[in-house]
Amino acid sequence: MSGTTPRHDRHHHHPEVHKVSGRWAWFCGCGSASCRTRLDPVPWHQVVVEALGHATTIAA
């Protein structure tokens, strides 16, 4: 090990898609998540598209 801590890219969003309680959702390190805006089940491909849309925004 080099003894250094990993750097986090604070200028871009990096959401991850996971299956939670039988539903697909995306979560981002900025605190945003699809499960906070929608309660109905959504197909996996739609969640991925939403996560990609979030990833294209520049973090403030």
Q: In this predicted structure, what is the pLDDT of residue 59?
A: 60
Q: Which residue has the tokens 């939670």?
A: 20
Indicate whether this model's pTM tops 0.85. Answer: no
CA distance 13 to 30: 7
- Tens-place pLDDT, residues 49-60: 989 988 887 665
Band of pLDDT at residue 46, cut at 50, 70 and 90: very high
**What are the pLDDT digits (tens) for 1-21?**
456 655 555 556 788 999 988
Whole-number pLDDT of residue 44: 92
